[in-house]
Amino acid sequence: MTKMIKEIMEQPRVLAGIEQANKDTLTKLVKTLNERKITQAVLSARGSSDHAAIYGQYLLGVYKGVSAALAAPSVITLYGGAPDMSGSLVVCISQSGKAADALAVLEKAKEQGAVTVTVTNNPSSPMGEKADFCLNCNAGPEESVAATKTFTAQLYLMALLAAYWSGSEELLAQLRGLPAVLEKSIDQIEEDAAKHSERFRYIKEGFVLARGYAYPIALEMALKTKETCYVKMQGYASSDFYHGPIAQVNFDDPVILLAPSGAALEDARAMAERIKSMGTQIMVVTDDPALAGENEDSVLLPLAGGEAAAAIVIAVFAQCFAQYLSVGKGLNPDEPRALKKVTITK
């Protein structure tokens, strides 16, 4: 058993403990945000953590009506700029809490009097200690280079932030029910990922598409496949894919379409039909039985109570898929070449 699959399988337990570990901090954070009348946010991260930030962008916009921008750390670290973040919530996301570029954004935001938050698996890290509030992934040690349980913990914390700040009982219900859904289904998710990865063993490149809450998961699935399998997999928002990238598609380069039930489902159905009309092989990952039945190569995931939670279930499948594809290629997903667990970029 690889460390990666071991840590993937820990995720139901990890997610089940996150709210309780962060409840007091979330309550105090939301009180501060409301007292300060904060209406905008800046999210700073790199790599997988950046995908969690994009997920947070959607949630904060949908549930709280907050405009959330992705920070450009190089504005500060390379060019000495000082973008005004004084009236904002600034969330810096880093599994290690040591990302130098995100730390630079955090420090600048604190100088300007912003409300600063770190989302990390290491509260005693420089970022964890510097921020006004620290949200703890509470995932325990993660030894595989590829982030798995820390990534879904980041997603979960961003969703909790949106739920607490907006007061959405609907979103809270999704999140509180998710660990049990995963506990019940994770063995089947692993089995499906192992089976479906077999036909991808010899691919050299491909595409992962999604829209809305699942879009950052498409980016993450592409990244996981790149780093563990050395496959040139590209992630796109399906809405953007029509605007040029679709011209790259050919029979030899498969398309993976992530299609949870919800607002983006009909768009996903239209994209699936478009890809099939081009003669290209497609794998549809969905929790909608009808869509799964319409596509010969499909993965049917369990319903998770809503589209935001469904994205996290899809993320678990994506991790399993990358792990088994890597092993099937005779590689070691725990130690991808040229990569280290902690990447310091400034």
- The residues annotated as belonging to the active site are 340
Cβ burial 236-251 (10 Å sphere, 16+ → b, else e): bbbeebeeeebeebee
Cβ-based neighbours of 139, under 8 Å, separated by 6 or more: 10, 14, 121, 149, 150, 153
Side chain identity at 156, as an amino acid letter?
A: Y
Q: Are 334 and 145 in contact (CB under 8 A)?
A: yes
Phi, psi of 138 (to 5 degrees): 55, 35
* Phi then psi dihedrals of residue 96, to 5 deg: -85, -20
Residue 144's contacts (CB-CB under 8 Å, 6 or more residues apart) are 2, 3, 4, 7, 333, 334
Q: Specify whether the CB–CB gap between 60 and 162 falls below 8 A.
A: yes
- φ/ψ of 215, rounded to 5, equals -60, -50
